[in-house]
Amino acid sequence: MVKKTMLSSNAATYGMLLLWALIVLFPFYWLVTTSFKEIGDVFRGPKYLPWVDFTPTTKWWYRMWVVEGRMLFRPLVNSLVIATSSSLFAVTFGSMAAYALERFRFKFGPMKNRDIFLWIVSQRVMPPIIIALALFVMFHFAGLLDTQLALIFVYIAAHTPIAVWMMSNFISQLPISIEEAALVDGASRTQAFFRVVLPMIAPGIAATFLLCFIFAWNEFLFALMLTGGEAQTMPLLIAAQHFQRGPQWWDISVLALITIIPVVILVVSLQRYFVKGLIPIGK
Amino acid sequence: MNAKKRKQRATEFIEQRTGRAFLAPTVIILLALTLFPFLLTIILSFSRITFADGVQIHFAGLANWSRLFADARLWNALSNTLILVVFGVSVQFLIGLWLALLVNRKIKGQSFFKVLFLLPMLLAPITVGYMGRMMFSYVRGPINDIFHLVGLGRIEWLISGDVALLTILLADIWQWTPLMFLMLFVGLQAIPKEFEEAANIDGAVGWQLFRHITLPLLAPVAIAAILFRTVEAFKIVDIIFIMTGGGPGLSTESMTLFAYISGLRTFDISYGSAISFTLFIPVLLSIGVFLAMTRRYRTVTFE
Amino acid sequence: MAEVVLHEVTKKFGDFVAVNALDLRVEDGEFIVLVGPSGCGKTTILRMVAGLEEVTTGEIYIGGRSVGNVSPKDRNIAMVFQNYALYPHMNVYGNISFGLRLHKVPKREIDKQVRQVAELLGITDKLRNKPKELSGGERQRVALGRAIARHPEVFLFDEPLSNLDAKLRVAMRAELQELHYKLKTTTIYVTHDQAEALTLGERVAVIKDGVTQQYNDPQTVYDHPVNIFVAGFMGSPAMNFFPARLTGKEGRLYVANPGFKLKVPQDKIGKLEGYLDRDVVLGIRPENLKTQGMAADHDPEAILEARVYVREHTGDELIIHAKTGGLELVARLAPRTEVAIDQRITLVAEMESMHIFDKDTEETVV
């Protein structure tokens, strides 16, 4: 790249980037420090630096894990189970659909591949609230309210379109000749899919799983409307703190941080795959 | 072999049986858990549900609808949502673009910045709501503290009906600019260097380079990013739920929140269904208008 | 025996007929080349033999068996693709051994085969590398190795050399010939490069619009093309075509147009009966137009004059483009011929090697 395009110097560039970095990091910083503050320190006006403005304490963390562990346990497990299983299914169904759409010519009445693809992807356009109430009614009559299964089903339906979109990106870049070579080499179609295609799209699968997991892990509306005490997820637990006990920022911060950590770990370890998958297909 | 024949060949690769089997799970689950509830919502919006002797559903014609369109609360929620969408997406786009251009300039620490800028996106919007509540707190929030220190005075971020929507907007921008940044950054990276180099030789630098080369080539990605973020923005509810609960008064109530409150807090499910369905209209309209406006810029081929 | 027979094979894509009632027979151990311009159907034919493309009507036999609905994996063939189609997630060893592993060949045997093949192709030191770490030429060898290791009845090549740079291409051509000499497997090779076809094939099938135009050994196709298409396609620079009229008097026949008048050799007059005083197409290859110094005793009535407008030095030849009477021609001259642009030059036409084509049917008369 040629230097000196729009701005006069590298210093200005760094300056602006650091400014935004600060804007990004400060709320996180606040969250972290708040989880270590005494009640008094929180209510006596904003305190910025540990050991300078206030004395940090680990008691809230201790309490959350050890004392109130039971409160934490169920939502954590629920979130893990729901997010992981729904994402696995979403990625599987999505990859299969994307593969079929790339390798076979469908025709259902006037609908051809492109139309089917657009229909699937356009499900994301619909605001969830539109079907949330109807789902409430449906699950009520099915006796599935407040179960992990309900959310798993809903998330699969909500996130499979994302998976189809992303995997389509990946699969369309695979030269079909490699699969043909596998056929000529003696593989059946199934063998070709599992031994040749799948390894090639593995990065795409990782990225897609990550995205679906994040969406499911952080989701609030459906969880709020379709569950009660049994299938409570982490976001609900966080929200519940507020409404049940008043703004206990220290506890809430601890919970929020506990909720963030799995996601951050996943992202940092898989981040190179993440970027590749988001290149949009031209419409 | 010309491209058309190649495409035809590719689409006959697997048999019909396999193709249908592979597509089936997705279609089935979408039909069952998306299309069906959607139709149900429409039906519910024309009904009235009573909980007298168990749950009963009665046909109510246009009752819900006439009530809805006369309801000032609808227009309030609609305008709040539109403000959040329009201003939110534009600001996110501008900042995201700026950041993407900066980070694209092969500076040291590029990966560091990339990962760092992604962080807000990874949070649950609920959490962002809380962070917002803490930080924008009138008395105890650091933001007012800093404002006070630099002489700007304390602002009633979450307390004043006039400012609250802005506060939500700020939190939304904070959380979602990363997504714009990411998509635009990837788009910038996909532009072959040769275009810039040729333009440089021709004498185009700085703003000219951006306007005539970078921007047109980035257009398809930018349009996709804006579209994607706009669609998501219409759904806003989590942040509002925690930061203001729709208040003060109704000044920050979005369409989704309005539908939720009507549907599950006051248990007027059919009214809530009507509200939800109404949200669909501005979403589709915006997409339609936007796509029509940008039709020219959407395809770019690097030949 | 691994002969390949195509019997009235037709392939349609919707309404488009890619291959039209084609008959072709490749003998066991023969190396034939399918050549033709892009889109002529040669690759489609290859893919039908491989089983990657369904035959609309007609039959294909490999080694006497009808392979109509047999899937590729059971046809005992191997294919080398234009872009090599190597498995990116496997190393060279894995790529070559994949087919063997699929057929559940015992591990020790696989190892022996792979090493043998690697040795043959000179890639033994690359066995642990992944395809993305290899150069174009090396990848091509791996693709070859993958095909050879399976010991198939038939090799199918789909323009395997077109992604290589010129020098490498020439070197690989020689290697492929050597390989064929050693392995003697029935081979069908597809290319759009007529030079490749002539150098590699024991027999060449020139294809146009899904129909075989001519199927002979290279020299015959070159010296005795059956129609204008084959004549113009094979050979580079391409044959010169001139519209002309056959005129004659006193038992002598001339082919004439505004640019020149050339005498037809006596032995060819017989076949041209019926074309007297008619318009025909005259074909003369560039190497059959020589300067007077180069041509030994020549017929004074077989000369023409032209004005040179382009000169191309190739090191071992001088190729000139010239115009005569509004017609353009190309000639191959000796490298050190002295001729300048815009200069008038006198050329001798070697009429024994000329061709006359029927203007309407485009078939060769002589």
Please give, rounded to a whole number of angstroms, the shortest distance from the CA of C111 to a CA of chain A. Answer: 17
Q: Does A20 or C293 have the greater pLDDT score?
A: A20
Q: What is the pLDDT of residue A199?
A: 87
Peptide bond into C237 cis (omega under 30): yes
Paired strand residues for C252: C249
Q: Which two tokens stand for residue A16?
A: 């602006």
Nearest Cα neighbor of B170 from B88, B263, B103 is: B88
Structure-token pair, residue C181? 């000499």
Question: Is the ipTM here above 0.95?
Answer: no
Q: What is the DSSP string of chain A?
A: --SSSSSS-HHHHHHHHHHHHHHHHHHHHHHHHHTT--HHHHHTS---SBTTTB----HHHHIIIIISHHHHHHHHHHHHHHHHHHHHHHHHHHHHHHHHHHHB--EETTEEHHHHHHHHHHGGGS-THHHHHHHHHHHHHHT-TT-HHHHHHHHHHHHHHHHHHHHHHHHHTS-HHHHHHHHHHT--HHHHIIIIIHHHHHHHHHHHHHHHHHHHHH--HHHHHH--STT--HHHHHHHHHHHH---HHHHHHHHHHHHHHHHHHHHHHHHHHHHHTPPPP-
Chain B positions in Cβ-Cβ contact with residue C18 (cut-off 8 Å): 5
Please name the amino acid found at residue A63.
R
**Mean pLDDT, rounded, of chain B:** 83
Q: Does domain C4-233 have CATH number 3.40.50.300?
A: yes
- How far is Cα C126 from Cα C122, in angstroms, rounded to an integer? 9
Is C88 in Cβ contact with A183 (below 8 Å)? no
Give me the residue label for tokens 């966080």: A238
CATH tag for C240-358 (out of 3.40.50.620, 2.40.50.140, 2.20.25.650, 2.60.40.10): 2.40.50.140
Residue A99 in contact with residue B22, Cβ under 8 Å? Answer: yes
Domain edges within chain C: 4-233, 240-358
Phi, psi (deg, nearest 5) at residue B290: -60, -45
Could you tell me which of A135, A163, A155, A112 has the C-alpha nearest to residue A226? A135
More confident residue, B22 or A90: A90
Q: Cα dist. C197→B252, C36, C141, C161 in Å?
A: 75, 10, 20, 12
pLDDT one-digit tens code per residue, A194-206: 889 888 888 888 8
3-state secondary structure of C154: strand
- Mutation for testing the C interface, residue in A177, A184, A195 having most C CBs under 10 Å: A184
CB A220 within 8 A of CB B124: yes
Extended beta strands in C82-225, E state: 154-158, 186-191, 203-208, 211-216
Res. B85: pLDDT tops 90 = yes
Kindly report whether the peptide bond that precedes residue B248 is cis, defined as omega within 30 degrees of 0: yes
Amino acid present at A38: E
The verdict on a CB contact (< 8 Å) between C39 and B8 is no
What is the spatial distance between Cα A122 and Cα B280, in angstroms, rounded to a whole number? 12
Q: ∠ CA(C63), CA(C65), CA(C69), 5° rounding?
A: 130
Domains and CATH numbers, chain B: 65-297 (1.10.3720.10)
User: Which chains have 3 or more CB–CB distances shorter than 8 Å to chain B?
Assistant: A, C
The model's pLDDT over B264-296, given as tens digits with 9 standing for 90+, comes to 777 788 888 888 888 888 888 888 888 888 777
Q: Which of A17, A101, A247 sits opposite B102 (nearest CB)?
A: A17
A170 min Cα distance to partner chain C (Å) = 15
Show me where the domains of chain A are located. Answer: 9-57, 72-277
For residue A252, CA distances in Å to A28, A34, B41, C15 come to 13, 9, 35, 67
Label residue A4 by pLDDT band (50, 70, 90). Answer: very low
Contact A123 B34 (CB under 8 A): yes
- Which pLDDT belongs to residue A68? 67
Is there a contact between B187 and B222 (Cβ–Cβ < 8 Å)?
A: yes
Cβ of C53 within 8 Å of Cβ of B9? The answer is yes
Cβ–Cβ of B224/A14 closer than 8 Å? no
Q: Say if C71 is an interface residue toward chain A (CB within 8 Å).
A: yes
Cβ proximity of A235 and A219 under 8 Å:
yes
Cα–Cα distance between C23 and B129 in angstroms, integer?
74
Q: Token pair for residue A274?
A: 């993440």
Q: Is A187 on the interface with B (CB under 8 A)?
A: no
Specify the pTM: 0.81
Query: For residue B205, what are its two tokens?
Result: 């630098």
pLDDT of amino acid B298: 65
Chain B residue at shortest CA distance from C18: B5
Residue C128 and residue C94 in contact, taking contact as beta carbons nearer than 8 Å: no
Q: What is the pLDDT along chain C (366 residues), one digit of tens a residue?
A: 689 999 999 999 888 899 999 999 999 999 999 999 988 989 999 999 998 888 999 999 998 888 887 888 888 899 999 888 899 889 999 999 998 998 888 999 999 999 999 998 889 998 999 998 999 889 999 999 999 998 899 999 999 998 888 888 888 899 899 999 998 999 999 999 999 999 999 999 999 999 999 999 999 999 999 999 999 999 989 999 999 888 887 777 888 888 888 888 888 887 887 888 888 899 999 999 888 877 667 777 888 889 999 999 888 899 999 998 888 999 999 888 888 898 898 888 888 888 988 888 788 777
What is d(CA A258, CA A69) in angstroms, rounded to the nearest whole number?
12
Task: Please tell me which residue of chain C has the smallest CA distance to A186.
Answer: C73
| Residue C76 contacts A, CB cutoff 8 Å | no
Nearest to B2 among C14, C39, C53 (CB): C39
| Dihedrals phi, psi of C262, to nearest 5 degrees | -120, 145
* Inter-chain residue contact C50 with A185, CB threshold 8 Å: no
- pLDDT interval class at B303 (50, 70, 90): very low
Nearest to A263 by CA among A252, A275, A271: A271
Tens of pLDDT, residues A56-100 = 888 878 777 776 667 788 888 999 999 999 999 999 999 999 988
pLDDT(B74) > 70: yes
Contacts of A187 in chain C (CB under 8 A): 73, 102
Taking an 8 Å cut-off on Cβ atoms, the answer to whether C43 and B1 are in contact is yes
- Contacting chains of C (3 CB pairs or more, <8 Å) are A, B
Contacting residues of A for C79, CB less than 8 Å apart? 180-181, 184
Which CATH architecture group holds A72-277? Answer: Orthogonal Bundle (1.10)
Is residue C234 helix, strand or coil? Answer: coil
Specify which residues C34 forms β-bridges with: C190, C205
Q: Chain-centre distance of CA B47, in angstroms?
A: 30
Per CB distance under 8 Å, which residues of C are interface residues toward B? Answer: 13-14, 16, 18, 38-39, 43-44, 53-54
Report whether pLDDT(B70) > 50. Answer: yes
Shortest CA gap B258–chain A (Å): 10
Min Cα–Cα distance to chain A from B114, Å: 10
C349: three-class secondary structure by DSSP: strand
pLDDT at A283: 25
How far is C58 from chain A, CA to nearest CA, in Å? 21
Instruction: Using DSSP, state whether C91 is helix, strand or coil.
Output: coil
| C-beta atoms of A129 and B113 within 8 A | no
Q: Yes or no: say if A151 and A226 are a contact pair by the CB < 8 Å rule.
A: yes
DSSP state of B199: H
Mean pLDDT for chain A overall = 83
pLDDT of C71 reads 84
Length of chain C (residues) = 366
Beta strands in chain C (DSSP E): 4-13, 16-26, 31-35, 57-62, 65-66, 77-80, 154-158, 186-191, 203-208, 211-216, 240-249, 252-257, 260-263, 279-284, 289-291, 303-313, 318-324, 327-333, 344-349, 355-358
pLDDT at B192: 81
- Where is average pLDDT lowest: B24-28, B89-93, B290-294, C87-91? B290-294
Rounded (10°) angle between helices B72-103 and B269-293: 40
What is the phi/psi pair of residue A67, to 5°?
-75, -55
A181/B contact by beta carbon, under 8 A:
no
C31-35 vs C203-208, strand pairing mode? parallel
Taking CA atoms, what residue in B is nearest to C158? Answer: B1
Q: Which residue of C has its CA nearest to A198?
A: C89
Residue of C nearest to A185 (CA): C99
Question: Would the CB atoms of B298 and A283 count as touching at under 8 Å?
Answer: yes
Greatest mean pLDDT among A67-71, B1-5, B138-142, B163-167 lies in B163-167
Amino acid identity, residue B49? I
**For A203, which residue in chain C has the nearest alpha carbon?**
C89
Distance, CA of B128 to CA of A135 (rounded, Å): 27
Tell me, yes or no, if A190 comes closer than 8 A to chain C by beta carbon: no
> Percent of chain A beyond pLDDT 70?
89
**Chain B hits for C14, Cβ within 8 Å:** 8
* Residue C261 neighbours by CB distance under 10 Å: 16
Residues B179-212 have pLDDT tens digits of 899 889 888 888 887 887 887 777 777 777 777 7
